Structure 1
């Protein structure tokens, strides 16, 4: 009889702990959602604060996501304070971002250089590569066409550039790179 009472008390205790844990997890997910909204609104400082506050009590499945968002926010804060002395420096930074997979940052920087130096064929070539990698085939074709118009040697370079792998089956791409073939 004593054992049955102890077992029942133990079950009740486990149920209470389980309910408390479920409630804490629900609250953590709600805090996480609020922090992600801050990131989406570009309120990076507030998002970092919210995410760091959440980290100690976050369920294991949220911990890595929180850390990733914290790193993203810090990177965004750092990039907004970047200053470039020349368009070439900005271009180099954009290509580094592209190579690291930060496509939106790369696009933003390349577009800024294109605005500053509209005759820079290498910028349009970089945009064409970025568009190809990100599946924006029409934009890739437009930018590559502009790059070739500014510097016909870009046609030869694009023929052997692996970054255009997504475009090789597109007849418009073939037509742009091999206009002499009927």
Structure 2
């Protein structure tokens, strides 16, 4: 900030220091922290991480800011509704597979992978579960090796999976990988 200059009665110029910056009150600090927590909870909510969002929102409904508390309460109710719907009794490999595919379609790739892993434990030689696991890992993009291994296993168990993979957009980020192209287009591979 620039210092203000004032003229005194004698026409001297006197420099006046700007006031020291005001420290925020504890209430202002608490509100700022609550707003940051709310933004974090909304981000988790947007990513379908309702359980994590619910924990934060539950603490925010008691905040002194009535507007923020009411918004947190609305999001908290939605989280509770979504979480109560998702309490499922999955027992069979197909139950876990179907739920995993549903989660993957909703963009919950981490949860989808967990369901598909459980399905594979129950049915380790099921080609479509390996195929779904391959697409999920390909979409996540952080385990190319795992995606290729599951796709290879799916093809070994059912050769039709090779033709499905050729047209499947879920594998688009693997198209440049020569191991992938050799796997799904073996006729084009050099002998």
Cα distance, 1:28–1:146 mapped onto 2, change above 3 Å:
same
Tell me, in whole angstroms, the C-alpha distance in 1 between the residues paired with 2:133 and 2:122: 15
Cα distance, 1:170–1:126 mapped onto 2, change above 3 Å:
same
Deviations 1:130-177 (A, max 9, x none): 111111322111110111111111111101111111111111110111
Question: Structure 2: which 5+ residue stretches go unaligned?
Answer: 1-21, 43-48
1:52 pairs, out of 61, 74, 79, with 61
Tell me, in whole angstroms, the C-alpha distance in 2 between the residues paired with 1:131 and 1:29: 35
Whether 2:148 is the aligned partner of 1:156: answer no
Question: Structure 1: which 5+ residue stretches go unaligned?
Answer: 1-14
Please state which structure has a larger fraction of its residues in helix.
1
Please state which structure has a larger fraction of its residues in strand.
2
1:18-37 aligned within 5 A: 19=25, 22-29=28-35
Cα distance, 1:174–1:73 mapped onto 2, change above 3 Å:
farther
2:180 pairs, out of 154, 173, 176, with 173
Whether 2:142 is the aligned partner of 1:133: answer no
- Number of residue pairs aligned between Structure 1 and Structure 2: 158
Q: Which residue number corresponds to residue 90 of structure 2? A: 84
Pairwise CA RMSD of aligned residues?
Answer: 3.7
Contact 1:51 1:70 in 2 (8 A): no
**TM-score when scaled to structure 1?**
0.68
Structure with the greater alpha carbon radius of gyration: 2
